[in-house]
Every structure is written in structure tokens, then in C-alpha cells.
Chains A and B, each alone.
Chain A
Amino acid sequence: MDPPWEESVGVATVYPAVHHDVALDVELVERHRCGDLQAFDEVYARFAEMVYNLAVRLSGSRDEAADLTQEIFLRIYRHLGSFGGRSTLKTWVFRIAVNHCRDRLSRHVPPMQSIDDGAEEEGVPIADPSRGPEELAVAADEGRRVTEGLARLPQVFREAVVLRDLEGLSYEEIAEVLGVRVGTVRSRIARGREQLRLLLEREL
């Protein structure tokens, strides 16, 4: 029989490779500077889902997340022309999003339990057609428990865990977004996951 750890080795969470072409970033920004409105539309198409989901997880409310997403994209629109290309557009967008969420949420803390309550009214869950109804139900239940646990994490850990495990950013990208060192990111992700594990185990 395999030792218990065997099934957990082999690891490395793999995310779909999203190639963020720096040349495309630069071109988009240039077009925006020249007044091409289509360029901003493309930025929205590329990042809206990521920004919205980040806002959902950081605010704990779909209503709040929709408002935050709208405000974040307006900021992006206003400042896209000043994007200097020192980071990728993706980390720049995430940085604006995280900073805006922090800023807004520090002034107004919405109720954290409403994510699933409002699921039918706002936002459209992205369904996975490859899973059967039973599997989907189990996954939904697990997802709900993890979501609730995530909402109870301290903000700094939640940000790091969401950026890593839900948005699939690398440690380096997260460090850029949060403006901290990679070592800090590593520590925050580990502590966030550990706290989440304890929260989930306590519930069982």
C-alpha cells in the first residue's frame, strides 16, 4: 500500500497558460493614448472576469463587487495612458484593483455572507460541462465551505491566497501587485492556507 503522502506528491497546481504579451500591452496603451476607445474595450475583455472575481472574494458580496469592478475600470481608463510598462498590464490592473478594494473596503465593510445568497441575482456562475450533477453538487458544497472560510481570513492572507489559488498569479506577480517581497508572499500564502485548513477542519 502506498504511504499516505504518496497521493499528495506530484503536486504543483497548474493553471492554464495565459500568455500576456508585453508587446500587446504596449500596443493597447499606445492605442488608448491615441484616443482609440476600442483599446479600453479590449482591456475590459481581458481583465474584467479576473477583476470581478477578485472583488467578489475581497468584498464578500457580488453587489459590492460589481460596484468595485465598475470603479476599478474607470480608474484604469483614467490612468491607462500613464502606464509605464515597468510591470505587465496584468499586474498593473491587479494592483489598481487590490488598492481600490482596500481603500473602499476600509471605509465600508459589507456583510461577508452574501456571496452565495445573491448568486442567482447577480453574476453568472461559469459552469463546467464536463461534470455530472452529483459531482457538481459536491463540488458546490465544498466550494461554498471554502468560500466561507476564505471570507474569514485576515485581509492580507486572503489577498495573497486569492491571487495565488483563485487567480493563478505567480509569487513574483503577487509580490508586484501587493508591493511586497517574494518571501513575504510565500509566508502570507502559507499562513493563509494553514488558517483556512484549521477553519475547515473545525467545521467538520
Chain B
Amino acid sequence: MNRHIDTEQLSAYLDAELGLAEMRQLEAHCAACAECGVRLAAMRRVVAGLGRVERAAPPPELRQQIRRQVMEEVPARGIRGALAALRLLAFPPGPALRTASAMGLALVVGLFGVNYIFAPDPVPQHPPALGQEVVTVEAGAPLAMLLTTSEVAGREFIWTDSGWVQRGLEWETPAAYVDARSPRGRELLTKYSDLEFLLADGSSVVLRYKLQTVEIRNPSTSRVLGFEAPSRPEGRRHGRMVAA
């Protein structure tokens, strides 16, 4: 090894990320080359300095704050699980099916479902004891909210009749369609891993990415519907929004 060692190799050497032969070569080179020896020592000092950066424990009250917020979410989470299943039934892939089944299911849920979904674990029905407070929980409002909005990757998404759309982009036609399994789709999902949550049931997601309005499609949806991305009529996507 006559050339000087490059920075990447020196750094990888300090992390024991080189093969044995490469390590031995590097060591032999540094023994003979003062310049590389000095560079290696300098980089080692940097790594040692980083190891001396003081760590901090999270503020003790943080745990309680998070716990409190989590406790506030507990009822919603149980509901959300049920609603995720309901949403799949109410809004299956396919605009026509969606409209029909959404109307039907909304009626069923409205008439019978809500009481069942929001009911706590079965509790023996005893009359309240003297002095015991009776609390009635209003279930209507959270149902509407949870069906139509979701905050993912720090953005708010709205459920429309053909998928999730980032708030503010409801009337925009996507400039690009991305298959969730394509390299670009994977790149997007790597960056915003929580989007998988929205795509999980076969929905599509429209969002702003690198200054473009992009639609991520779940390939299973495309296959079921058999649509071709470019032929999609403009403006159709966001023709009707479920009230938020």
C-alpha cells in the first residue's frame, strides 16, 4: 500500500470495520508513513473526544408527562383499533363500492354500532351506590374525527373518498405516482415510516414531497382496481370529502 490511506478507511479501522488483511495492511502502512500515522492519531482523538461528550438523563418529570398523555389516549386507541377495521369495511378499495358500503355501514354503525364499540368491558349492571357519580361519555364526536383525519410524519392527513390526502392538497392533482414497493416508494416509506400505517389497508396517500405533490399507491390496490396511473381523470380524486 503505497498510496496514503483515505479518511474512510482510517475511520472504519477505528471501528474495527475492516477485514483482518486490510487492517494489517493499514497498520503496516501507518508504521512506515508518518503522515498517515498522524492522521490516524488525530482521528482517534476525535473519536475519543466524542466518547467524552456528557450524556444527560431525561428530565424526571418527562416520564410522568408522557404517561399522562398516554393515559389520555388509551380510550381513543381502543376505539381506533376498532375503527381501523371498520374503515376497511366502510371504505374498501374502489370508489363505487366505497360510496355504497360507506352509506350502509354508517347507517348500521349509527344505529347499532356506536354503543357496542364504545362500551367498556362488560360490567355487572348495578344501580349506582349512594353518592357515586354517573358519567355518560359522548361517543359521536371522536368517531367522526378519527375516521377522517390522522397525523402522520408531523402532517395531517384527511380521509377522502379515494384515500388519504395531506391537508392543503385536497384539490391538487398529483404530479407523480409512486408505487409503494418501487425504489422511490421505499425511499419515501423509509423517510416517513409511519405512512405504512395509512397504506396498510390498501389506501393510497397523497403528500407533498420534495416540493411535489406525490401519490403513493399500494400495489395491491392497483391490482385489485386494475387502474392505470396516467389515465386517472383529473380532479376526480378529491371530488368529495368526508366531512372532517
A112 within 8 A of B: no
B17 within 8 A of A: yes
- State the Cβ distance, A58 to closest chain B Cβ, in Å: 13
- Which of B7, B14, B54, B69 is within 8 Å of A70, CB to CB? B69
* B: number of interface residues (CB 8 Å): 61
Query: Could you give, for residues 1-20 of chain A, a 1 whenever the CB lies within 8 Å of some chain B CB and a 0 otherwise?
Result: 00111111101110000000
Give the residues from 25 to 47 in chain B that come closer than 8 angstroms, CB to CB, to chain A. Answer: 27, 30-31, 34, 36-38, 40-47
Contact call A143/B53, Cβ cutoff below 8 A: yes
B156 within 8 A of A: no
Contact call B54/A196, Cβ cutoff below 8 A: no
Q: How far is the CA of A79 from the CA of B193 in the complex (A)?
A: 10
A165 within 8 A of B: yes
Contact call A139/B27, Cβ cutoff below 8 A: no
Contact call B42/A197, Cβ cutoff below 8 A: yes
User: What are the residues of chain A within 8 A of B65 when measuring CB–CB?
Assistant: 70
- Of B43, B58, B69, B74, most buried by chain A (CB within 10 Å of CB) is B58
- Which of A5, A100, A139, A140 is within 8 Å of B30, CB to CB? A5
Q: How far is the CA of A203 from the CA of B15 in the complex (A)?
A: 26
- State the Cβ distance, A87 to closest chain B Cβ, in Å: 10
User: What are the residues of chain B within 8 A of A150 when measuring CB–CB?
Assistant: 50, 53
Q: How far is the CA of A102 from the CA of B206 in the complex (A)?
A: 20
- Which of A3, A13, A126, A186 is within 8 Å of B57, CB to CB? A126
Contact call A125/B42, Cβ cutoff below 8 A: no
- Which of A119, A145, A186, A194 is within 8 Å of B49, CB to CB? A145
Q: How far is the CA of A73 from the CA of B67 in the complex (A)?
A: 10
User: What are the residues of chain A within 8 A of B122 when measuring CB–CB?
Assistant: none
Query: Could you give, for residues 164-197 of chain B, a 1 whenever the CB lies within 8 Å of some chain A CB and a 0 otherwise?
Result: 0000000000000000000000010011111011
A48 within 8 A of B: yes
Contact call A99/B47, Cβ cutoff below 8 A: no
23 contacts between A and B (CB under 8 A): A3-B37, A4-B34, A9-B40, A11-B16, A12-B16, A52-B62, A56-B56, A57-B53, A74-B69, A77-B66, A77-B70, A103-B153, A125-B55, A140-B54, A145-B49, A147-B53, A165-B50, A171-B17, A191-B7, A191-B8, A193-B7, A194-B43, A201-B42
List chain A positions with a Cβ less than 8 A from chain B.
Answer: 3-9, 11-13, 35, 37, 40-41, 44, 48-49, 51-53, 56-57, 62, 66, 69-70, 73-75, 77-79, 81-82, 95-96, 99-100, 102-104, 107, 119, 122-126, 139-140, 142-143, 145-147, 150, 161, 164-166, 171, 179, 186-187, 189-191, 193-194, 196-197, 200-201
